[in-house]
Each structure stands twice: as C-alpha cells, then as structure tokens.
Structure 1
Amino acid sequence: MNTAAIDLKQLRRDLRRQRRQVNIFQQRQAAQAILKHLRRSPMLHQSQKVGLYLDAFGEIATKNLIEYCFKLGKQVYLPKICNMNQHLHWVKISRQQFYSRRFALHRLGMLEPQQRGVAVQHLDMLCMPLLACDVTGMRLGMGGGFYDRTLAKAKQRPYRLGLAHQFQKLACVLPHQAWDQPLHALCTPESYQCFKT
C-alpha cells in the first residue's frame, strides 16, 4: 500500500465500522487470546505500575487483563482526560473500585475515574487502544491525539504496548507526524510483535 495514497479519515471510518462489527463472542475470544500472550510477557511481569483503559468502542476488551494485573499484585492505572490541556492523567484504581464500576461517563462516551491522577512517566507499562498499527509500530488512534500529546510531553516514557484485533494490524507504513509516538510492541490474538523504536 502506497503511504501517500492512504486517506487517514477514510481509513479511520472503515476501521471504526469494522471494530463495531466484532460480536461479543469474537470479542471474548480475542481478549482471551491476548491475555494468553501477555501471561508470557516478561515486560508485564517486570512492570509494577500498569496503565490500561476501559474499552468502550469495540477495542480489545481489558476486563480479563485488569483482573490478571490485580491477581499479580500490580498497580492498575486508568486514563482521565485533563480538561485544561487535553492530556491524559493516570489514576490508580483499586480492585473494589473496578468491580463496583465507580467511574464517571465522559462526554466522548467512555468511563473514567474521577480521582486525581499522575503523569504518564510514573507508569512502567502502558497498554494502549488503537484503530490501526503499521509495520513500523506507528499507532493510528481515534483522532483526538490524547495519547500522542501526553507521551510527547513526557520526560520519560513507559513501555508502550498496543492491543488490537487482527484486522487492525496493517501491512503498510502509515503517514505520521513528528509528535506521533511509536509502540514498543503490538499484541493481537495471533501474535506478540516487537518493534525497533
């Protein structure tokens, strides 16, 4: 696929539609396969502070992974959008908060914690949602730029792992900006692929 010929707006539309068409059974299978890969990930086992997300738009479901992190004694952090600068802050949640779903609905449609958060550099590992990932590890997000903006300003960046359905792994190079943040690795139901960042 020719980089210059890629229409990112159309690609985002197509991938959003495809992601919405993933049924509950396929979603459950994908989440289980990804957890199986991550159980063998040295990076997850070495990381104490793990940033995750609450799926809301057909992304890879994270419930099993969050539960696994709690089981391992990890500190689990969820993103909260800071209204002042549109950066993400990371809020440490408890197992009790997760199970009782004590979160607020953001105007963009996802749930987020309400407590005060910390900057992304406090995390050891960051599991990120995405619309697509190319062969170099560049991530295509929903278009809001929250993750890229947040990471671009960080003094120190955590290990970045994208979680994706198989169709979100593209065999091309996506056009990107200087501030776009590449992934260290991508985990899909079929593979765990590391990139040279």
Structure 2
Amino acid sequence: MSVDLKILRKQLRHQRRVVSSFQQKQAQQKVLQQLIRLKSFQHAKKIGVYLHAFGELNTNQIIEYCFKQHKQVYLPMICNMNQQLHWVKITQQQYRNNRFSHHPFGMKEPMASRGLHVSKLHLLIMPLLACDIYGTRIGMGGGYYDKTLASAGQRPFRLGIAHDFQLIEQRLHRETWDQPLDALLTPSRYLYFKR
C-alpha cells in the first residue's frame, strides 16, 4: 500500500506544530544523549546543522554541545543562483547573540556571502518531515537538501534527526533525485541504513 504524500505531509506538519515545549526539550535531550555516543559525531570536526523553525526537532543543545567540544558549526544558507545550500561557519557568540537574517521562507540563516560545499563537512545533521525504515527522507518539499547532496559523493555522513512519530513504518516512494540518509536518530531509536 503506497502512502499519499500530500496527506502525510499535512498530518506531520500539524503534528510537529503541536509538540509542546516540554516534549520538544525532552526529545532534544534524548537525541543529544544518543548523538554524543555515535562515532560519526565523535570523529566529526565540521558539522552542518540546521536552526529549527517549523517544529523540527530543536537543535539548541546539539549546537551548544558542538561548541563545547570545539567542533566547527556550519549552518545552511540558500544560494539563489542554483537553489543549493551552502554551509556557513558560525561562532558561539554569533549563535548566542542570534546574529542571523530572516529568509523569506520563514527560517533564519547566517549573514554571509560565501560558504563551504556540503562535501567539505564531516557530518550533516538534517531536518525532515518523514523518514522510512529504509532511509528515504521526505523534507519540506523544496528539494534543497537533495539538490545539494546530489553533487556531494559519499561525504558527509547524512544523519536525520526527528521526533518518533516522523519515522514511518511503510516504505516511502523514492524518486531518482531523492538523497537517502545514512542514519536516523529519534528520541527512542537509532537506525543505520546502507546507502
């Protein structure tokens, strides 16, 4: 039985929006506890991560922990010329002072003109709307992560983080351009996929 993507997107967007701040805090703590034990995180020096904006799993604690461990933190910035994401290094001071611009889509992004190609990162922590048990990731629908990762080869390690309800047991349809995850981390599970 195939999943109706339109209905699924609507349901999951709604579910993400109604997650309470208490549930959000608990979820991010559980994900961070698992994340710090992963070799892919421990060995990574350059980490790409997102600023949560639409009910995705909150990344505050992950970002602060990265700074504490002297890891380099990179945030995505949409390049209007090719609709790909470029990764801009931020400082702890910049993060804490909330020195970001507002993108018309509603999220915050770094104020910079240049960034790294995604393949220069060691680990990419990605938001998602849904993921199945085969590593097929469904994003918000813009295709920015897929377009960006299409030219990246095997690097970086692609880790999706999500609330438990975003893991879908049924197989999601994967288009030829869809870029699968290497692993998924939820508050209660860690799944590794063979890409």
Instruction: Compute the TM-score of the two structures, normalised by the length of structure 2.
Output: 0.97
The question of 1:11 aligning with 2:22 is answered no
Aligned residues: percent identity?
Answer: 57
Between the aligned partners of 2:183 and 2:74, the Cα distance in structure 1 is 19
Alignment correspondent of 2:74: 77
Q: Confirm or deny: 8 A CA contact 2:135 2:182 kept in the other structure.
A: yes
Q: How many residues align?
A: 194
Cα shift at 1:156: 4.7
SS of the equivalent of 1:126 reads strand
What amino acid sits opposite 1:150 in the alignment? T
Instruction: Compute the TM-score of the two structures, normalised by the length of structure 1.
Output: 0.96
Give matches, 1:127-166, under 5 Å: 127-166=125-164
Between the aligned partners of 1:183 and 1:196, the Cα distance in structure 2 is 9
Cα shift at 1:120: 0.4
After superposition, the C-alpha distances for 1:140-185 in whole angstroms (9 at most, x for unaligned) are 0000000001001224530000000000001011011111111111
Between the aligned partners of 2:193 and 2:90, the Cα distance in structure 1 is 30
After superposition, the C-alpha distances for 1:111-147 in whole angstroms (9 at most, x for unaligned) are 0001121110110000000000001011000000000
What amino acid sits opposite 1:136 in the alignment? Y
Structure 1 portions without partners, runs of 5+: none
Between the aligned partners of 1:150 and 1:129, the Cα distance in structure 2 is 14
Structure 2 portions without partners, runs of 5+: none
Question: Which one of 115, 121, 143 corresponds to residue 117 of structure 1?
Answer: 115
Q: Confirm or deny: 8 A CA contact 2:77 2:110 kept in the other structure.
A: yes
Between the aligned partners of 2:128 and 2:155, the Cα distance in structure 1 is 18
Mean alpha-carbon deviation: is it higher for 122-131 or for 156-165? 156-165
Between the aligned partners of 1:128 and 1:159, the Cα distance in structure 2 is 10
Alignment correspondent of 1:183: 181
The question of 1:65 aligning with 2:65 is answered no
SS of the equivalent of 1:78 reads strand
